[in-house]
Each structure stands twice: as structure tokens, then as C-alpha cells.
Structure 1
Amino acid sequence: MATLPHSNTADTESLLEEWSWTMQSANFSTRTIDERLLLIRRVCDTCGHPLNVQTRDLQKFLATPWKASTRQTYQFAIRGFFTWLQWAGHRDDNPTDKLPRVRVPRRHPRPITDADYVVLKQTRMNARTLLMVELGARAGLRAHEIAKCHRDDFDERNRVLRVSGKGGVERFVPVHHDLDRCFGMNAFLFPNHDENKSFAAGEGHVLANSVSRMLSGVMRRAGVNGTPHSLRHYFATNLLHAGVDSRVVQELLGHASAQTTALYTAVSLDQKRLAVELL
């Protein structure tokens, strides 16, 4: 049976609402759900009503000059939506079935160096930004994890930080002495002074994009090559160089797969030389 043409925006929103219920029931994080809904709205704005979209429409949308990893992430989310439409009986076909697989170049660890970290900490910044830097480099937190840090997450007696990571997965990270001042802070470490899409002014915390923007700014001023996520890579690589077992590093980063951890941990030239000298 051919798919009937649709054009009603309200109908699109009802489909997205139904899909969001499915994601909620599967315990997807609010952040993931919001990001996927935003993406599919962009797809609909570009390609038309989701019940009319064809494979060629999605190919054109995905031909946008994004990084390969971004295109892969977007294709995965788009595939999930149209697979759900077919499963839920809204479509007889799935236009993503014939999409070509996105080829992604092999990723390499991209930590900053020890010298970069020294320069970064010597760069002029406010105390709020410095704490963000240290949470990335000394606790390995992602931007969204830094954003929602709360005083109650810090267990002073056991010197442990409770982190709610991707998908709400909890992990516990020992508190580095550079972060001792967190024990004396109140409520959210980074409260939102202005209204954002999640909280009224002063009633919650800043969002991940604010953390990324502040960290990117100070790294740029310091002349440090990298992204805010490079601080997390720096944390992981330093642990590996200190002789920490890779399984422990995996736990500290909150990775489900050791393969993901390998993408974060750079092996130095000195380590390679030492390995060859053992032959």
C-alpha cells in the first residue's frame, strides 16, 4: 500500500510526541530525547512530512558538509525515528533502509599536553571557568556532567564525586586535591544566572553548551590546541601513563566499552620506544 501524502504540522508534532514516549519508556536521557527531537524537526523542515519522506530526501539532508562522526550520529538517530514509524504502523516502508553506511575515519586520542595544561591554568580566567577546566582535567567530566555538578554529589568523608553520565549511568570518581574547594560550595557549582531552556533564572544550573563555550574561549585565549573534550582525554591519558590499568580508566570515564576508552588514551613516543627496546 502506498504511503498517503501528509502535510499537517500538528500531525508531525503528534508523531514526535509519541516517539518521545517510546524513548522515555526505554530510559533514554532527557538530553538525548531533546537532541533527537530537534534533529528530526530539522529533517522535517528540510524534507517534508515524515510520512512522505523518501530515501533521496534523507540522502540530500545528510549530504550537508558535516564531520563524518556527526553525519554518522545523525544518520543513527534518523534511522531510529523511521524504524519506529514503521514499527508503530505509521509507515509501510522505511526510507533509511537504503541509506549508505557512513564511513568514519579512524579516530585518534586528542589530549592536550602537560605544557598546555600549565599554560591553560596560567591564563587569565574567572574562578568559575577555572573550576570547569579542573573538573575536565582532574575528574574526566564531560561538558554536560560539569554543568550539573551539585555540592551533594561530593562525598567529603570518602572523597568521592558521584557523576550522572550518559543515559543516567552513575559512576564514582575519587576527588583530586585540586578540587577540594568543591566540598565547601553550596547547591549547584554553576548556577544559571539567566533563564535557559531548562530552568528559570537562578533556579538550576548552566547548560552543557555554556560550559563548552567558556572552555573553548579560555583554550583559544591560551593558544591551546584542542576542544573542551580534550581535557577528558588528558585525564585518561595521564592515568594510563601513570600505570593505571585500562579497566580502571574505563570505569573512571564511565565507558561501557574498553574500545571507547582506547580512543581517549594516547600512547606517547617514549612508551613506544620503551616497548621496542624490550625486544
Structure 2
Amino acid sequence: MTAPALEGAVRRHLDHLAVERGLAENTLAAYRRDLARYAAWLAASGVGAPEEVDAGHVTGFVAALGTGGDGGRPLAPRSVARVLAAVRGLHRFWALEGLAPTDPAADVAPPAAPERLPRALSVDAVTRLLEAVPVDSPAGLRDRALVEFLYGTGARVSEAVGLDVDDVVGVTGEHGDDVPVVRLFGKGSKERIVPVGSYAAEAVAAWLVRGRPALVAGARPARGTPALFLNLRGGRLSRQSAWSVITAAADRAGLAEEVSPHTLRHSFATHLMQGGADVRVVQELLGHASVTTTQVYTRVTAEALREVYAQAHPRARWDGR
């Protein structure tokens, strides 16, 4: 069992993340899980208070994460790095607040992770995915609007399902010739304005005019919600349901690769870069805090160019022969 002093110090940090930094609930939930695992490790190691933690406890925990030695499931290097980031933030907070004399996690490095480039669908595969969504029912209109919206804006699935109708402006022509836009609220509740392409705007407009009213009217008990995307009961669509919409469409389209809402976000960014978009424009559209995060898509584009060159040029050989 975790000692009260240690448990209270962890809770104080989580309160700081929620109130002072305004982290989204999904992000906070991830922090709670990771720090609960860390607190259990410290308790099992005989630690009862923040000032008793040393670098050996932190490095031991990091090693245990990779093997499951702490009693949890073994984690891949990227997941270990994510948990360590939460642990380092915890110790930094404790040191700044005077709950511990030093920061024992400051010099602990995460395990090296193999570099993975984002997986993106081809333009043809995206088209097949979109065309596989039937629009002969209110739910079908919603599903087509959701898939078009995710690919047309690069929104995270949590951003999409969190939208209200008033967050999307101009899709039904109420603002004349203005380009339709959407207000997206990303990590840390940061707001950004993103254009909505014509295909996505038309799909959302069809959903708002012909699909959404039917789900609202059929809700039992009758309810009113500002949510843009609704479930069959008239409530806000969940992240899990949105994920199911994408995977069902991929199955109908016969796509061999695994497709998720984030695959559409990667495809959005990759296709923009391939079309010549500036990396900083893509950064703004995706809502990345740092352009370094966005620059991975320049490598994706370079890999695609290299592959095409190798296949098409008669003297493009890198095998040393």
C-alpha cells in the first residue's frame, strides 16, 4: 500500500496539472495511470515520502517497465519513455515545491527507441475508404462526415468528438463565400482555427441538414446536446465509437493495412507535405507545439521520393554493385 505522504504528494502534482496547466481529461487519465504505477513501485521499494526517493529508485523503475518487473505488463521503449516523462515531471514539481530536496530523475534517460515513421494511406486508399461509407441513413451521413472531417482537417479524434455545432462555421453557406473553418481545441485546451475543405464541408453540411435532426428527434428520452457528432441515442459520439466507424469503413474498403483515426491525421499531414505545403503551415494545422514534431513528415516525403526514384530510374542502385 502506498504511504499517505507519498500518495498525497502525487495527488498534489495531478491537481497542479489539472488546474494550473489545464491538461485535457484524457491526458490527465494517462498521467494518473503512469504515476499510480510509479507510486506502487516506490511503495514496494519501501519508500514512504518524496524526500526518500533517489536516482536508483527511478532507474530501477525504468528497467522494470521494460520487463514487467514491477508487476505490470512489459512496455515498449516508446511507452517507457512516456512514463518516464511523467515521472520526471513529478520529481521536478516536488523539487520546485520543496517537497523533496533534489530531483533524482533529472539525469535518468529513457531507453533508445527505434525510429518509426508515421503510417499514411495513399490518396487512392483514402478515396476508397471514404467511398466505402454509405450515406443512405442518418448514421451513414454522420460516418461519412466524420471520416471526411478527420482527413480534411487533420483533427485528432478527441478533438473531433469534442466539437459542438457552433465550432464549425460556414459549412452550410450561412457566411456567403467565406471559407468554412472549425475551431479545434487541442492538447492543453489550446485553440486553433483550421480550414475545412470543400468535400468535408459538404459532408458535414449534409449531416447537419439531413442526418443529425433525425437522431435528435429519435432520442429517447428526448435530449438536447450541442455536440456536432451524435450517437444513435442522440448523445455525443465517443472516441471508441468514432474509432469503430473508421475500422468498419476500412474493412468495407478492403484495405489491408490497419487504419485508425490517427492514420487519417498522418495522411492529412503527409499529403500536404507531398503537395508542397510549408512545414510551419502544417505545424499550425496539426496544432504541434514544436516544429520538430512536424518535421517527421518531411522524412516521410523524402522516403517516398527515394522509393519512386529507385523504381523508376535505370541507374538508381544503392546496393554497392
TM-score calculated relative to the size of structure 1: 0.78
Task: Give unpaired runs (5+ residues) of structure 1.
Answer: 1-5, 195-200
Shift of the alpha carbon at 1:47? 4.2
Question: Separation in 1 of the partners of 2:187 and 2:9?
Answer: 25
Question: Separation in 2 of the partners of 1:98 and 1:240?
Answer: 36
Task: Call closer, same or farther: CA 1:258–1:59 in 2, change over 3 Å.
Answer: closer
Match of 2:156 in 1: 142
Greater Cα offset, 178-187 or 108-117: 178-187
Question: Separation in 1 of the partners of 2:61 and 2:251?
Answer: 36
RMSD: 3.3
Tell me the alpha carbon deviations over residues 81-132 of structure 1, each in whole angstroms, 9 at most, x when there is no partner. Answer: 1222233333345442453333122332321112221332243565233333
Task: Give unpaired runs (5+ residues) of structure 2.
Answer: 69-73, 213-225, 314-321
Shift of the alpha carbon at 1:190? 2.6
Tell me the alpha carbon deviations over residues 28-84 of structure 1, each in whole angstroms, 9 at most, x when there is no partner. Answer: 334322321222113223442663662354124421433332221111011111222
One-letter amino acid of the counterpart of residue 150, structure 1: D
Match of 2:10 in 1: 16
One-letter amino acid of the counterpart of residue 38, structure 2: V
Task: Call closer, same or farther: CA 1:47–1:192 in 2, change over 3 Å.
Answer: farther
* Corresponding residue SS for 1:96: coil
Question: Separation in 1 of the partners of 2:185 and 2:271?
Answer: 23
Shift of the alpha carbon at 1:146? 1.4
Question: Separation in 1 of the partners of 2:255 and 2:165?
Answer: 32
One-letter amino acid of the counterpart of residue 16, structure 2: T
Instruction: Find the partner of 1:85 among 90, 94, 116.
Output: 94
Task: Call closer, same or farther: CA 1:139–1:248 in 2, change over 3 Å.
Answer: same
Question: Separation in 2 of the partners of 1:13 and 1:133?
Answer: 42
Match of 1:3 in 2: none
Task: Call closer, same or farther: CA 1:129–1:42 in 2, change over 3 Å.
Answer: farther
Question: Separation in 2 of the partners of 1:233 and 1:7?
Answer: 41
Shift of the alpha carbon at 1:164? 0.9
8 Å contact kept, 1:160–1:175: yes
One-letter amino acid of the counterpart of residue 68, structure 1: P
* Corresponding residue SS for 1:41: helix
Greater Cα offset, 111-120 or 264-273: 264-273
Match of 2:110 in 1: 101
Task: Call closer, same or farther: CA 1:175–1:34 in 2, change over 3 Å.
Answer: same
Task: Call closer, same or farther: CA 1:193–1:121 in 2, change over 3 Å.
Answer: closer
Task: Call closer, same or farther: CA 1:33–1:50 in 2, change over 3 Å.
Answer: farther
Question: Separation in 1 of the partners of 2:48 and 2:126?
Answer: 47
* Corresponding residue SS for 1:264: helix
Match of 2:71 in 1: none
Instruction: Find the partner of 1:73 among 79, 82, 85.
Output: 82
Question: Separation in 2 of the partners of 1:212 and 1:190?
Answer: 13
One-letter amino acid of the counterpart of residue 279, structure 2: S
Q: Which has the larger radius of gyration?
A: 2
Paired residues for 1:1-279 under 5 Å: 7-8=2-3, 11-23=5-17, 24-48=19-43, 51=49, 54-63=57-66, 64=68, 65-97=74-106, 99-123=108-132, 126-127=139-140, 128-156=142-170, 157=175, 158=178, 159-179=180-200, 180-183=202-205, 185=208, 187-191=226-230, 202=235, 205-220=236-251, 222-226=254-258, 227-265=260-298, 266-267=300-301, 268-269=304-305, 273=309
Tell me the alpha carbon deviations over residues 167-204 of structure 1, each in whole angstroms, 9 at most, x when there is no partner. Answer: 2221111111222243463621234678xxxxxx93xx
Question: Separation in 2 of the partners of 1:232 and 1:163?
Answer: 14
Task: Call closer, same or farther: CA 1:100–1:117 in 2, change over 3 Å.
Answer: same
* Corresponding residue SS for 2:112: coil
One-letter amino acid of the counterpart of residue 79, structure 1: R
Greater Cα offset, 52-61 or 100-109: 52-61
Greater Cα offset, 42-51 or 241-250: 42-51
Question: Separation in 1 of the partners of 2:80 and 2:93?
Answer: 20
Question: Separation in 2 of the partners of 1:42 and 1:132?
Answer: 35
One-letter amino acid of the counterpart of residue 168, structure 1: S
Task: Call closer, same or farther: CA 1:92–1:61 in 2, change over 3 Å.
Answer: farther
Task: Call closer, same or farther: CA 1:79–1:121 in 2, change over 3 Å.
Answer: same
8 Å contact kept, 1:146–1:211: no
Task: Call closer, same or farther: CA 1:220–1:74 in 2, change over 3 Å.
Answer: farther
8 Å contact kept, 1:44–1:50: no
TM-score calculated relative to the size of structure 2: 0.69
